[in-house]
Structure formats: C-alpha cells, structure tokens
C-alpha cells in the first residue's frame, strides 16, 4: 500500500526517492575493437593499462610487457621480460609521472607460477625486470598514489583468500615497504580512482555490500600516511550503496563522469548523483585511455574487447516530473511561510 504524504516533508520524501533514478540500457556494439595478446602459460588472462602520454595500450601477459604498435592496432611488441618464468598476470599501472610500470602476479597466483604475489617494476620505455620489488599477497589493483612526494608510491587494493575482506595500502616500489592506509573494507577488493579534487574512490568487489563506493579526502590520506595511522573504511564518505557495480575497473573520463565495471556491465555516475547502467550480459572490466578519451570494455577472462568513445555514454537528466516536484516543494514551503 502506498500512502501519499502531505506538506513539505511529503514533497521532499517524494523528490528524494525519485530525483535520480537508475536506468539501464543494453551496451551497443563497439564502434572500434582490438585483439589483445594471449596470456602466457600460467596466466588466466592479461592486464592492460593505457600510456598517460601516448595513449597506447600496454599489456601484461604474465611473462612479458607488450606495447601496442599504434592506436587502435591489434599488433603488440614485447618491451620487457618480467621475472624468470610465467606467472598469473595481475595488476598493471603507471607511476605518477608515467615513466615506470608496476606489474603484479595475480590474486595469490592461484594458477601457479614461480612468482605468486610478487611485484615487479620496469621502465615504461622498455627493459627487463627479474628482481621483485616486493611481495603483496592477493593484490587486485594498483594506482599511482597521490600521497607523499615519491614517484615510487602506489596504492594497492589487497584482498584475502576467502574474498571476505580487503584493504588499501601504500606500496613503495623502491624499498618494498607496504604500509596500511585504509582498513576493514567488508568485502573483496576492487579498483580505485582519484578525482580532480584528489579524493580517492574505493569500492567493494564482492560480498553482501558489493557495489558500495566510498571516497576519502586527500588531506586525510596524507595525514594517515604521514602518521602511519590507517583510516577505517567507514571514515570515508559514502558515495554509492547500490549493488550496481563490482569495482571492476574505475575511472573518471574527461567530463568528470565516473565509470565503474560490474558483474553484468558497467555503471556511470555524473557529478549530480544521477546514474545509468549499461548491460553487457556478464562480468565487465573497464580501462581508460585518457589521451583519446576511449573506454576499453573486456569480458571475463579478457575474451572479448571493444573500444568506445567515453562521450557516447550519458546519464539521463531528471525528467519533467522532477521539476514539477521541486516546484511543489517550493509552493508548499511558500504557503507554510505565509500561514506562519
């Protein structure tokens, strides 16, 4: 049974519950496509990252780093060997200035391999890396850190063997130190991203609170890192609580729209809190080319890839009904003021 509330409270309740509805539409066929290199022997899939200055794709296959020969090309050339054998390819990320690459070996190396959990660093211009910079078990995502002054610092979203909890730490590729930064995340690890104000967004990838996104102010992160006093998950501002993503790739495009991959597609959020979901029929991971403003969409295991201009994805603005409700709120408030 639905009750209609009267007065200012009722109008505000209606406006709040309807102002930013989540819509869903099918993901269209990609206007561009690319074929990624195959994973190495012990790797389940490959990981990709776009060069922050050249817009080319760099792929980590568990044994080598390969660089795209030209934009939109399916031709890749190896630029460096990693480790001394094939491992499960995990995260791949560029350093803050784009000169270095950080490559990890899977979520604990569940497919085997001789470098489970190890992290390697190598020049983005090319070169081999046979000595691990450190070891972080169950690493899921890397992101160049915006704390401290060193180019060697990275955020690491780290899970556990049962996918029940995760945390964010700061990894120093020069020393191998891995310092806790955000504790007590109640679910599996996910991607991370930083907005134009320096706030870090972190999600929950799996568990009862899947889809939850929180953001942490840069000043709070800096203070926590400097004092070696980790933040608690709940200290971050709640940005999203709906099960509309699993943090499978997360970034802001050139417009400031937030993209987050998920179990059936991906969700986008605009700066006004409006949401739109694109259904891809299965697990969907996202990567972003900031030079050409392109979104790389890959399915589970990297078996299908498509490239889309980020600008083709939109969040619907609230409809006429929202304006009518806003007017109703103002009218009721004005009447109440006159009576008072």
The torsion angles phi and psi of 56, rounded to 5 degrees, stand at -90, 155
Domain 36-236+298-308 belongs to what topology? Neuraminidase (2.120.10)
Distance of alpha carbon 325 from alpha carbon 322, whole angstroms: 5
What does pTM read for this prediction? 0.85
- Binned at pLDDT 50, 70 and 90, residue 294 comes out as very high
The torsion angles phi and psi of 286, rounded to 5 degrees, stand at -120, 145
Q: How much of the chain, in percent, has pLDDT values that exceed 70?
A: 82
Average pLDDT score over residue span 109-115: 54
Domain chopping of the chain, boundaries = 1-19+318-340, 36-236+298-308
Question: Taking 60 as the threshold, does the pLDDT of residue 107 lie above it?
Answer: no
Distance of alpha carbon 289 from alpha carbon 251, whole angstroms: 10
Question: Taking 60 as the threshold, does the pLDDT of residue 123 lie above it?
Answer: yes
pLDDT tens per residue across span 30-71: 999 999 999 988 788 899 999 999 999 999 998 999 999 999
Question: Taking 90 as the threshold, does the pLDDT of residue 105 lie above it?
Answer: no
């Amino acid at each position: 049974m639905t009750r209609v509330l009267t007065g200012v409270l009722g109008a505000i309740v209606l406006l709040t519950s309807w102002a930013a509805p989540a819509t869903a539409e099918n993901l269209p066929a990609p206007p561009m496509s690319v074929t990624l290199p195959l994973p190495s022997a012990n790797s389940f899939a490959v990981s990709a990252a776009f060069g922050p200055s050249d817009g080319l794709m760099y792929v980590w296959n568990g044994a080598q780093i390969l660089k795209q020969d030209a934009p939109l090309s399916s031709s890749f050339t190896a630029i460096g060997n990693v480790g001394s054998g094939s491992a499960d390819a995990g995260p791949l990320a560029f350093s803050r200035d784009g000169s270095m690459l950080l490559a990890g070996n899977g979520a604990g190396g569940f497919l085997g391999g001789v470098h489970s959990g190890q992290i390697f660093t190598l020049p983005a211009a090319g070169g081999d890396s046979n000595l691990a910079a450190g070891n972080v078990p169950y690493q899921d995502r890397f992101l160049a850190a915006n704390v401290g002054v060193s180019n060697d610092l990275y955020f690491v979203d780290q899970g556990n063997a049962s996918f029940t909890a995760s945390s964010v730490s700061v990894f120093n590729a020069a020393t191998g130190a891995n310092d806790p930064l955000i504790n007590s995340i109640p679910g599996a690890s996910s991607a991370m991203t930083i907005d134009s104000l320096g706030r870090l967004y972190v999600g929950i990838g799996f568990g009862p609170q899947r889809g939850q996104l929180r953001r942490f102010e840069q000043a709070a992160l800096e203070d926590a890192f400097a004092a070696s006093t980790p933040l608690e998950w709940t200290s971050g501002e709640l940005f999203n609580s709906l099960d509309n993503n699993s943090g499978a790739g997360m970034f802001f495009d050139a417009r400031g729209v937030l993209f987050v991959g998920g179990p059936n597609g991906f969700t986008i959020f605009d700066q006004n809190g409006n949401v739109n979901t694109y259904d891809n029929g299965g697990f969907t991971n996202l990567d972003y080319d900031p030079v050409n403003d392109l979104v790389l969409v890959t399915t589970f295991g990297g078996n299908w890839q498509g490239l889309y201009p980020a600008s083709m994805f939109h969040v619907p603005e609230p409809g006429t009904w929202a304006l009518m409700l806003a007017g109703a709120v103002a009218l009721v408030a004005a009447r109440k003021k006159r009576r008072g």
